[in-house]
Structure 1
């Protein structure tokens, strides 16, 4: 029998780690002195400790390691499952690092610009919510992305050319759309894709894609890099709302969320304040 100290040296595992593995039922000592509580191990248990160390070194949880040891035939599949999850986390961390670097290279600033008139293909995003929490927000983002891909594929198949970044906007262009949003029925979002096309190409678009003229306007714009989130959306609002304007205001009912490859650009139309209001 080996003392916990001897076993610790053989396995290169600290005694506190061995105690933790014991409490989790992962590596149970061969014997425990009832009076002193001292743990002792068998030489054969070094192999099990080695396997545990190998699997834990991959970042596997104790629960998953225990299952791999209890079900040796399932261990390879569990390892592949864990490897895929590690890769997903690594990609998410890489994306977060890129976003953080982008923030500190150039902190997002509100800009004013003029947007010319353009033709857009518009389509409602089916079954979306406004995004009351992060899960709903991500679900809506996925639905928006799928609708953008669908509209882009449709317009290109009809001979039209996508002429700028697509965007999403709240679906409140008609009384019925506004009613549906207030009733929580959806759709809550519309997708807009700028296009250049002749009349024949536009006429060939299916009925669920509406051709509209986006009127020229001045607007405030704030680009935030990386994946969209509720926090980033609220940050954009907090920057756009108080931005100082002469005899005008940022109209939040006429917002756009332009979907760039490296982030989301939130804009709000600049609406002049009527002179009668200024006089009062």
Structure 2
């Protein structure tokens, strides 16, 4: 008649309770179920299927996904790859969170005052990221999506610079798209764009002239800044924390010009910086 649930349990190293649960979920369905006694009997060949089920479940796959893999073996490899990619992304997020927590517990990032020299930068609009609007609350962005869009724009600018023989001369950044009246008007609409990406470069005059035919080439004026670097990926709480720290730690006689705020991209996090201007209004 086949293997009893007890014998099959011993051969598959799956408890009778687990086998009954799998049966109810459409996994490892017994070859025969005695209608009178309800006893389950399995074929010897099902031990092989049990081995696959145990391996996939041991990897952490859900019963639903394991059933899909068993029912359609040609999709099993793809399902496992999809699952392992999800685990990898989750692990990366956990590792990043651990690194951020360790950094914050060791010492909170400090606000720094510094002089920034004049730079030549390439500038371009960043692909629009949808704004989350909630009544009675400030508009919010998915900062992961913003970061991805910004890095894509930065990659394009860097490639363009290399194509024309220019050299990237520092960390890129992004800033609110409000440098012109037209940009400010568009930035207030859902269609945007809302951000500009900036890449500092060094290049000869002829290279800059060629670049200017393809992209906006600007002079970033020297200025005094207040900056804070928060580790890890950008999030709304980090963004809000940066704003708070920059506003509350302004030196006497100066004010932070919010319209000049920039978010500088580093491998280990994002640095938020704002220009310091004298209260007298003299920006020289």
Same fold (TM over 0.5): yes
Find out whether 1:176 has 2:177 as its counterpart.
no
Matched residue count: 272
1:31 maps to what in 2? Answer: 33
2:156 maps to what in 1? Answer: 150
Offset at 1:41? Answer: 3.3
Distance (Å, rounded) in 2 between the aligned partners of 1:50 and 1:101: 41
Q: Could you say what secondary structure the match of 1:183 adopts?
A: coil
Offset at 1:254? Answer: 1.6
Gaps of 5+ in 2: 133-138
1:13 maps to what in 2? Answer: 14
Equivalent residue in structure 2 for 1:141, among 144, 147, 150: 147
- Deviations for 1:175-210, whole angstroms, at most 9, x for unmatched residues? 110100112221111111112223222111143522
Equivalent residue in structure 2 for 1:188, among 178, 183, 194: 194
1:70 maps to what in 2? Answer: 71
Equivalent residue in structure 1 for 2:270, among 264, 272, 275: 264
TM-score normalised by length of structure 1: 0.82
Q: 1:171 to 1:76 in 2, by over 3 A?
A: closer
Gaps of 5+ in 1: 276-280
1:201 maps to what in 2? Answer: 207
Superposition RMSD in Å = 2.9
1:278 maps to what in 2? Answer: none
Equivalent residue in structure 1 for 2:248, among 242, 248, 253: 242
On the 8 A contact 2:232/2:269 being kept in 1, the answer is yes
2:57 maps to what in 1? Answer: 56
Distance (Å, rounded) in 1 between the aligned partners of 2:90 and 2:122: 36
Q: 1:100 to 1:110 in 2, by over 3 A?
A: same
Q: Could you say what secondary structure the match of 1:13 adopts?
A: coil
Q: 1:32 to 1:167 in 2, by over 3 A?
A: farther
